[in-house]
Amino acid sequence: MNVRVRLAPSPTGNLHIGTARTAVFNWLFARNQGGQFILRVEDTDLERSKSEYTDNILEGLTWLGMKWDEGPIFQSQRLEAYRQTVQTLLDKGLAYRCYTTSAELDEMREAQKANKQAPRYDNRHRNLTPEQREAFEAEGRQAVIRFIIEDDRTISWHDMVRDTVSWKGSDLGGDMVIARASIGGDIGQPLYNLAVVVDDIDMAITHVIRGEDHIGNTPKQILLYEALGATIPEFAHTPLILNSQGQKLSKRDGVTSISDFKDMGYLPEALVNYMTLLGWTPPDSTQEIFTLSEAAAVFSLERVNKAGAKFDWDKLNWLNSQYLHKMPVPQLTDLLIPYWQKAGYEFDIEADRTWLEQITTLISQSLVRLTDAVDMCKVFFSTTVEYEEEAIAQLQQPKVSEALLAVLGALESHPTLTSAEAQKITKKLSKEKNLNKGLIMRSLRAALTGAMHGPDLIESWVILHQRGTAQTRLQEAINNLNLPLVAVVAPTATPEQANAETAAETLAPEQPAAEVTAVEKKSVETDPVAVTAVEISAVETVEKSTPEAVGAEVSTVEIPQFEATEAEVSTAEIPQFEA
């Protein structure tokens, strides 16, 4: 048998994940059997079908790798074939014109509801005489075409997923409408069940693989195959995709279209891999990652589950991350560039290619979705740093300014920077400046990235240095974040202060701070100079390290005498040095 399967989406909305999963199962079965996968667009609903939805469906299938062998074939271009088939059924006496009005149908349903009966058509116009038909047409009534379904029929088939399935004719809702209403002898627009059967016959479809929500249509379609004397295909009804509450996944659950998944940063390979597992169990149940070709080699409908498949975001995210982590850097960079561009990041795709690939290498193992790269990489593209509270707290720790100044000084001799050189700088400064290496690293991360957590610090530093950003951010951190003082130095000191250390960071923890409570002016020779003001830079604490100064309170800071001639001194400052 030459296996031929088809996907028949309706362009009344974007490509839904349920339809996409059906496409995957059809494609896998066709490839496993060496058959053909045909694409048919069921656009007979002219009011709801839109070309943009058709484009979305075709683009989505292409993105997923679902290459079709024939098509797309549009039902809207085959309306005459459907009408001819309807006429054939009328000629055979297997269908008839029904003139029942909408009001009569409503009245019928209300009566059935009152009697606690299932709604169905009562076939009242199945056996109209020619005179009755003429009378209805004289009233201006329009007629639909109904296909006769005998109540005493039992329709059974072997479903490749659900084994034997049987329906009673009496449960199918009465004689089925196969063409919309029209006036006189015209045949209105053919409807779904008839068009599907005609297409499947003309396209020699051997296997109909679709969701279980279509299972109620199958007995009606089997009756049409029989009426037209055609071979009935094999049927396989796959389980529905369910939400976390166990209900059919719908638009109310948020993301359901393939284009949405694409925009969210999922890879087509990962999404197809995940959809394959939504209702199908591979022979090796421990295998979770495989390509389409690998899945096709072992796919069978017998291993499709009957129970609904619950959509698991965590599983999809995990699969997507595995594909991202294994992807070659150049390929991954190509995928990330559009997301960076959309975020407004500025770079030259060609000139900055090596730099962009360095960023990709740095973040690749942390990615779950492609969109994650936007926030992860903001620090490399932004001209300014947004400091998190934790980073600000780190930058206000003792000795941070000394550490950052030391790094800045070391970078003056490094127009370029490698990872090894960056490591060497931190080790050297830690030893020479007697600085804790952890302090240096934490301070660098806070100053360079504005955060205390993120990608590898050394590699981030190297990447920023290549753009000339590292030095700028270090200097900005020193200038703008009110860092602790490295030293407070007066121009001269009184003898009592000669041995006192003014750098707060050099004191031992057990040495208390001396309090400066006042500023005392000494005599200043002013002839012929007028001194109008003396301004003292704020000094909050001066800590002493000499043993005899422990616990002492310093109540004054003396200003040395100034000798001035011929000039007016308006301000004298005690300088304050910040590192």
* Catalytic residue list: 251
HEC secondary structure over 309-335:
EECCHHHHHHHHHHHHHHCCHHHHHHH
First to last CA, the chain: 84
Structure-block tokens of residue 128: 């109209």
Contacts of 76 (CB under 8 A, 6+ apart): 43, 44, 46, 49
**Residues across the chain:** 579
The two structure tokens encoding residue 553: 């309170």
User: 545: how many CB neighbours lie within 10 A of its CB?
Assistant: 15
Contacts of 442 (CB under 8 A, 6+ apart): 394, 452
Spatial neighbors of 51 by CB under 8 A, at least 6 apart, are 11
Cα angle at 225 between 223 and 230, to 5 degrees? 150
* Cβ neighbour number for residue 523 with a 10 Å cutoff: 6
Q: Shortest CA distance to 177 belongs to which of 126, 104, 129?
A: 126
Name the residue among 397, 399, 426 with its Cα closest to residue 410: 426
Instruction: For residue 527, give the DSSP letter.
Output: S
User: DSSP letters along 132-179, please?
Assistant: HHHHHHHTT--EEEEE---TT-EEEEEETTTEEEEEEGGGS-SSEEEE
d(CA 446, CA 477): 9
